[in-house]
Chain A
């Protein structure tokens, strides 16, 4: 099973700051890495597919990068509506797995 380790677990950020979340895979997954945003009492929403590919309708301040075992989600100029938990997810091999999540709080 591929283990995804996210860091940090929690981040408290002021609006307009840049947020960087890292996801490390226990073995190479190429670019088979997605990022999801989950707000309280809502279902997850796809932000980035295949490590760096944007999703229609998702604000351009969300960008992804990386390949192999190291991946990054960057939120440029954080907005209040970005308060949520962010999860990485690998679709390289079964079982599909998720990172433990990073909760982003707005100061």
Chain B
């Protein structure tokens, strides 16, 4: 079955950087687009970024554009989110999610369990 396991979360100071990883198994990773979605404590869901199956196209929310970079390594079945210039408002649980489609965005089908990022001095 599909398994998505996020890691790399933790506490970081404002202005700092962090790289999140999402290890995928149970499906052909290189055939699927992938998303990052976040959820601030006690709040709703916010889409962060999407990457095509082959990494050739990427899209991100205005709130993170220029600071966060989504990438993938299909040889390692792993999705990444490089987060720079972190702000207090980036504090959230970060989820990776599988899209059933390769290039076009369809929807978020399977989700990982999430990893908590806390931005605080």
Q: Footprint of B on A, CB under 8 Å?
A: 32, 34, 36, 42-46, 49-50, 87, 89, 91, 94-101
Contacts and interface: CB of A to CB of B under 8 A. Distances in A.
B59 interface: yes
Interface stretch (B12-20, B23-31, B43-51, B75-83): B43-51
B34 to A, nearest CB: 13
Contacts, number: 51
Nearest to B112: A43
B62 A89 contact: no
B107 A89 contact: yes
Given A87-B44, A98-B44, A46 B61 contact: no
Contacts of B50: 96
A43 B114 contact: yes
Contacts of B62: 95
B119 to A, nearest CB: 21
Interface in B28-82: 35, 44-47, 50, 59, 61-62
A95 B46 CA distance: 10
